[in-house]
Chains A and B, each alone.
Chain A
Amino acid sequence: MNTSFSSNNHAVTTDSATDAQISLRHISKVFPGRGGWLNKITGQASSDFVAIEDIHLDIEHNTFVSIIGPSGCGKSTLLNIIAGLSSATSGEVIINGEIVDKPGPDRGMVFQSYALMPWMTVQDNIKFAVETVYSKMHVKQQQRVIKENIQLVGLTGAEKKRPHELSGGMRQRVGIARALAINPQILLMDEPFGALDALTRGFLQDEIERIWEQQRKTAIMITHSIDEALLLSDRIVMMTKGPAARIDEVLDVPFPRPRDRNTVENHPAYLKLKKEMEDHLYRETRAVEEAQIKP
């Protein structure tokens, strides 16, 4: 498993593969507009908004997938549907062969805003997750899980601190530890480093790479950063602009693991992939801007 990952890359197929852990089947999300006579009279009527349309994707076990696309393309909507926080208007999410329509501890989520409870210490934030998911686990065992995960993200010594006493990078470490502490099969990350400065962002990317080498999970990460996607992912899903965003292309990232930000850039395919992504993002973002100018 730890040997070169490039050799056993399956292409992400659009027809249902049998060994896929996550299958997204023709998922669309429509946010209903305000219809009805009352809204029409008051001039508040609006039409339906199609956020994403016909998203079809299979993700194999232990694959790291990044979703990248212009702002407002419905990336977060898609992730929330996979997380079960939001429901698809049509289509279904199948995880391990079962249709999923609500959240569950098989999926751990990392939020852009960290979403730590400010009244809980670092330890208590993670404890809340562990207690909720493993309510029948022995207390000693729970404490061990909490300790291990604090150690994993390098926060030993900060257990008793509250989130407001920590920097953004440290907070997100807690967010990651909390998501991992429930030992989910799938890790969902919604722009996890979006609110961090470049340096901290780099640290945490390295951290994610290191952790992921230790405990491989299926991971889906939303990002705006091309370099971040290239460093961490096995596949990169590029989405078109919204409304009615679709999957434009799925790229395979063939770099061997474990990866290092300095050596990854020397890989012969790096520049070609990067160029391809830049072109895509540039094209889509241009289209977004043009669409805003002429309504």
Chain B
Amino acid sequence: MTVIQQKIINQKSGNKLIDNENVRALLLFLLSLGIFLLFWEVGARMKLFAKGMPTASLTITELWYWVTHPFYNNGPNDLGIGWNLLISLRRVAIGYTLASLIAVPLGILVGISQIAFKAFNPYFQLLKPVSPLAWLPLGLYIFRDSEMTGIFIITIASIWPTLTNTAFGVANVDSDYLDVSKTLGASRWRTIFKVIIPAALPNIISGLRISMGISWLVIVAAEMLLGTGLGYFIWNEWNNLYIPNILVAIFIIGIVGIILDQIFAYLEKLVSFGKQSS
């Protein structure tokens, strides 16, 4: 009895900090990061990697420089990374908003009608797997303008996940909710706005989240061919053959991607109401 109690006390107070799962995970993370950076630094100094591979310390110094000097402007080929980031974000914001404004209402419309769903689904299924970059030449031909083309590609790439998720969510609203609405004699519009759309909201937000992820993937690729933005920053540094800056840009793109995704993760949580969403 006392032995057990002692054990429990030990477990509770003893190595309390180490026993915490998050603390352990953080320690493991820091350890692996340290090993990785050390391996990188030593490997690069001993020229174990490809020729011209920068050291970890140089890359971190560059990262520090770019993060502390984000906004300067020495012409289009020497633009602070902050400006480039804002340019990319602006394109994504416009293209993504356009896509959402098309995809959500259209998805609701298609989801409500079984016939419309069956009739139009082939289009969505066909266009969904097409790489957004395939649209690039078409965009350039139609708009003859790199800015418009960038937005066009974001729009066309981020429509499909939102559209299909919205349609799916609307088409699969729990029939009990619809029965409640019917037994009360609610009008069609009231049912759509008060029942169907809120019930489908978790699916709609998941769709928007996937779309945002895709937008952020696509903008970098598209900008390599466009002329400004983070994608072009990478392309420009490739032409300069200055690898540390490419690594810096990759890191920044990743961080911004996480932030964008987390915003939507938060929104998903907000509309899940006890239901566990992935």
Contact = CB atoms under 8 A, between A and B. Distances in A.
Interface string B236-278: 0000000000000000000000000000000000010111000
A165 B274 contact: yes
A109 interface: yes
- Most chain B Cβ neighbours within 10 Å, of A108, A117, A129, A178: A117
Interface residues of B, number: 21
A30 interface: no
A98 to B, nearest CB: 15
Contacts of A128: 184, 194
A109 B183 contact: yes
A194 interface: no
Contacts of B185: 103-105, 132-133
Given A117-B199, A119-B201, A107 B274 contact: no
A261 interface: no
Nearest to A105: B185
A105 B198 contact: no
Given A109-B179, A115-B179, A132 B184 contact: yes
B198 A103 contact: no
Interface in B142-194: 174, 176-177, 179-186, 190, 194
A163 B176 CA distance: 15
B195 interface: yes
A144 interface: no
A89 interface: no
Contacts of B199: 117, 119
Contacts of B273: 118-119, 162-164
Nearest to A133: B184
Contact of B183 (A84, A120, A163): A84
Contacts of A107: 183
A249 to B, nearest CB: 29
B183 A83 contact: yes
B180 A111 contact: yes
A163 B201 CA distance: 17
B182 A103 contact: yes
Contacts of B195: 117
Nearest to B186: A132
Interface string A92-115: 000000000001110111010101
A277 interface: no
Contacts of A117: 177, 180, 195, 198-199
Contacts of B180: 109, 111, 115, 117, 129, 178
A85 interface: yes
Given A132-B186, A164-B275, A111 B179 contact: yes
A230 interface: no
Interface string B196-234: 001101000000000000000000000000000000000
A164 B275 CA distance: 8
Interface of B: 174, 176-177, 179-186, 190, 194-195, 198-199, 201, 271, 273-275
Given A85-B182, A107-B183, 10 more contacts: A83-B183, A84-B183, A85-B183, A105-B184, A109-B183, A115-B174, A117-B198, A119-B271, A132-B185, A132-B186
5 contacts: A103-B185, A108-B183, A111-B176, A111-B179, A162-B274
